[in-house]
Amino acid sequence: MDSSAFGMLIGLLVVFLLVFGPALLGIFVFKQRPIMLKHKDSGIRKTARLGWSWTYYYFGFLVPVFRGEILIGVLHLVITVFTFGLFQIIWSFLYNKQHATRLLTTGWVLADTSEVEMFAKNKLGIID
| pLDDT 10s digits, 22-71 | 777 777 777 889 999 999 999 999 999 999 898 898 899 999 999 999 99
Whether residues 54 and 84 fall in one domain: yes
Whether residues 42 and 98 fall in one domain: yes
User: In this structure, which long-range contacts are made by residues 82-89, counting pairs with CB atoms below 8 Å and at least 24 apart in sequence?
Assistant: 88/56, 88/57, 88/60, 88/61, 89/57
How many domains are contained in the chain?
Answer: 2
Whether residues 116 and 73 fall in one domain: yes
Residue 45's DSSP bridge partners are 38
Whether residues 55 and 85 fall in one domain: yes
Segments forming the whole domain that contains residue 42: 32-124
Whether residues 90 and 112 fall in one domain: yes
Whether residues 18 and 44 fall in one domain: no
pLDDT at 76 over 90: yes
Whether residues 24 and 67 fall in one domain: no
Whether residues 52 and 2 fall in one domain: no
Q: What's the whole-model pTM score?
A: 0.79
Whether residues 78 and 22 fall in one domain: no
